[in-house]
Amino acid sequence: MLAAYVARFSPDSPLDGLEVGDRPDPATTEHWTTVDVRAASLNHHDLWSLRGVGLREEQLPMVLGTDAAGVTPDGTEVLVHGVIGADGHGVGPKEPRSLLSERYPGTLAERVAVPTANLVPKPAELSFEEAACLPTAWLTAYSMLFTQGGLAPGDRVLVQGAGGGLATAAVLLGAAAGLEVWVTSRSAEKRDRAVALGAAGAVESGARLPARVDAVLESVGQATWAHSIRSVRPGGTVLVCGATSGDAPPAELTRIFFQEIRVQGVTMGTREDLAALARFCARTGVRPVIDAELPLDRAADALFRLAEGSQFGKVVVRP
């Protein structure tokens, strides 16, 4: 089958480690299902994998990808939940938690095998391309806002870094749920587009907000951490799901303990959250913003768009 995979690690130029070519079909395993992938979406996790983060040399070649929507052998249309081993379904009770493309081949392929319990019904209202955007960035945004963040209509939230899949998801989901969503970006165009999607306002990166927020969605890390801590109200929450600019900023511990700020880590969400998110989109009409759709054999072009940061929304590949 055709697949995009990590052939070698390239920390400074991740795309140099990418190859697109033939890989073996997934093996048939009890309690697992092989899904024909109709669409998959990209995440920064794919670029980190190409740099060698989370993988060892002996695991290569490793098929990339954590997100997919497709069809099971009996014709059922499904979303793939990419967290493996969280509760032992299909892998045993001692399986450590991982994401697809870390211990098991990922979704940037014509077919992917996952524990059957990881399959979530795809609503008919969503296209395969839209559904493929949900399992990582959109699920993480949903979890940060509603599951881990516990935000309610009328609450105010700051999203650091407009334009990426997580940020656009947070704007659309938050606005649909009655939140007051603020975003930051160095790009005036991206700020304007975020407001057009439903954000209450957008400011330059690091700029002061009109008022402090109840929660901050932080995925940038070193470049925005101090701004996040200064933007949240006393007793508020900073939810962290990544550190694309680096993970070693000053911790701001004095401000955190004195203002009783809660820092909460988030990695995606549960299958139940994914099913709820899919229903939310189906019922409200909220749809992922898709920046580009490319065939799988052009995975390098798709990943380049993600690496240069020019996208607004999700980048999708189709086998």
| Residue boundaries of the structural domains of the chain | 2-133+288-318, 136-265
Between 310 and 258, the more confident residue is: 258
- Kindly indicate the confidence band of residue 273, based on its pLDDT and cuts at 50, 70 and 90: very high
pLDDT of residue 198: 95
Average pLDDT in the chain: 94
Distances (CA, A) of 97 to 7, 27, 176, 266, 287: 23, 21, 32, 14, 29
Q: Do domains 2-133+288-318 and 136-265 have the same CATH topology?
A: no
Residues 136-265: name the CATH superfamily. NAD(P)-binding Rossmann-like Domain (3.40.50.720)
Q: How many Å is the Cα radius of gyration of the chain?
A: 19
Q: Which amino acid is at 317?
A: V
- Tens of pLDDT along 120-177? 999 999 999 999 999 999 999 999 999 999 999 999 999 998 877 889 999 999 999 9
Contact 318, 39 (CB under 8 A): yes
Q: Average pLDDT in the 262-268 region?
A: 92
- Kindly indicate the confidence band of residue 283, based on its pLDDT and cuts at 50, 70 and 90: very high
- What CATH code would you report for 2-133+288-318? 3.90.180.10
Cα 275 from Cα 96, distance rounded (Å): 23
Q: Which amino acid is at 109?
A: A
Q: What's the predicted TM-score (pTM) here?
A: 0.92
188: which residues sit within 8 A by CB, 6+ positions away?
none
116: which residues sit within 8 A by CB, 6+ positions away?
31, 32, 33, 89, 90
Does residue 243 register a pLDDT over 80? no
Longest dimension (CA), the chain: 57
253: which residues sit within 8 A by CB, 6+ positions away?
none
